[in-house]
Amino acid sequence: MQASSPGLAPYASDPARSRGRRHAEPEAPTRSAFQRDRDRVIHSTAFRRLVYKTQVFLNHEGDLFRTRLTHSLEVAQLGRSIARALRLNEDLVEAIALAHDLGHTPFGHAGQDALHACMQALDAGTAHDGQGFEHNLQSLRVVDELEERYPAFDGLNLCFETREGILKHCSRANAQRLEAREPGGVATRFLRGGSPSLEAQLCNLADEIAYNAHDIDDGVRSGLLTLEQVASVELFDTYRRRALAAHPQLGGRRLLFESIRLMLSAQVYDVIDTTRERLRDAGVASPDEVRAARPLVDFSDGMRQRSRALKQFLFRNLYRHPQVMETTDRARRVVSDLFERYLEAPAELPPAHALRPDRPRAVADYIAGMTDRFAIREHERLFGSALFP
């Protein structure tokens, strides 16, 4: 019998009351179910690949930019800090945070968009219509099906609560497919409404806080954004001024870092205060009551607005920067070229993928698992020209 976790709030997810794993397994002698999930994620192949996958900048563009791996670690750090203050389950937060991007393709969103377009063009008018490619769903596929580590089952056999957190978004069509396979499971809330656990809600927000902050850092480091430009964003500028008030001589890198640090802290405390208040107002007393309520982990209205403005700034000035767009155009081409080639020449696939009856999905799984540089190398091998010399 597992000890229920002391110090947890009544609305926190309790590993001793988990809704369980898809394949029954004996409990571990010393680790809770969520600790075990976290450990399984860290030991997975997909997790190790995150180090060579793009966040915004391609992996080989510079050694100091965020990758999916360092991004996931930052999400876990922010998530744990907030979880501890709210007495939520830190292990569950960490498991979800470390797994949330496992399904990302190479080349970030450009890669995913290209793969989605390829799958949708193929799906149109077939029984698979609308399935396309979604990275959240792919993260779930990685932990449910694609990892091959255990003798008795495919995937990592994670707990319901971890899987629920990984499936952050899901189209209705895909939710219906999942629901048919797993009635009342992780996709049900996309069909019938309801919220995920507080730990899952927290990971969503920690994800947003993390990328808004680190994309400013990487954007300035890359030279695509200037500090003056970022200072036009109210949220950032508030903390830049505060940093300068405390340290009038501060400039350059250190001013950037100190401003981001103050901004991160303010957002973390804002989430903690706002969520405490909302939990009190909602009067939730269990994870089930949390699932029946509207989402409760959030920024205050003011912080939400200012965070949105920062996100829009990054979208316009960094993600849509001509230099980033030029790279993402090439990345999209790599992905769609590979997709077409593997589909018409399955002998180019590894045997395990070539033998699968669901070839388009097998091709999508194979490409989604690639690191940036592996995809580039495969493209060179199959097409003879170097799109990223």
Q: Which residues bind Mg ion (CB under 5 A)?
A: 101, 207
As a whole number of angstroms, the distance between CA 94 and CA 363 comes to 30
| Smallest gap from residue 55 Cβ to Mg ion (A) | 8
For residue 101 the two structure tokens come to 């991007």
Least separation in angstroms between residue 93's CB and Mg ion is 14
Q: Which is nearer to Mg ion, 207 or 298 (CB)?
A: 207
205 vs 279 by CB, closer to Mg ion:
205
- Exposure string of 63-81, with b = 16+ CB inside 10 Å and e = fewer, is eebbbbbbbbbbbbebbbb
Shortest Å, Cβ 101 to Mg ion:
5
Our CB check for Mg ion shows the closer of 21 and 104 to be 104
Cα–Cα distance, 155 to 373 (Å, whole number): 25
Least separation, in Å, of the C-beta of 72 and Mg ion? 7
Please state, in angstroms and rounded to a whole number, the distance separating the CA atoms of residues 206 and 267. 10
Instruction: Judge contact between 303 and 273, C-beta under 8 A.
Output: no
Cβ proximity of 235 and 310 under 8 Å? yes
Residue 183 φ/ψ, nearest 5 degrees:
-60, 135
Q: How far apart are CA 19 and CA 155, in angstroms?
A: 18
Question: Roughly how many angstroms between the first and final C-alpha of the chain, as a whole number?
Answer: 58
Which residues are within 8 A (CB) of 217 and not within 5 positions of it... i.e. 6 or more apart?
Answer: 256, 257, 260
Nearer to Mg ion, 102 or 187 (CB): 102
Q: Minimal distance in Å, beta carbon 308 to Mg ion? A: 17
Q: Which residues are CB-contacts of 101 (< 8 A; sequence separation ≥ 6)?
A: 50, 53, 68, 71, 72, 135, 139
Shortest-Cβ-distance residue relative to Mg ion: 207
Of 207 and 218, the one with the shorter C-beta distance to Mg ion is: 207
- The residue (of 213 and 349) whose beta carbon lies closer to Mg ion is 213
C-alpha dihedral sign at 147, 34, 268, 286: positive
CB-nearer residue toward Mg ion: 96 or 376: 96
Q: How far is the CB of 57 from Mg ion (least distance, A)?
A: 15
CB of 185 to Mg ion, least distance (A): 23
- CB nearer to Mg ion: give 103 or 287: 103
Least distance (Å) between residue 33 CB and Mg ion: 24
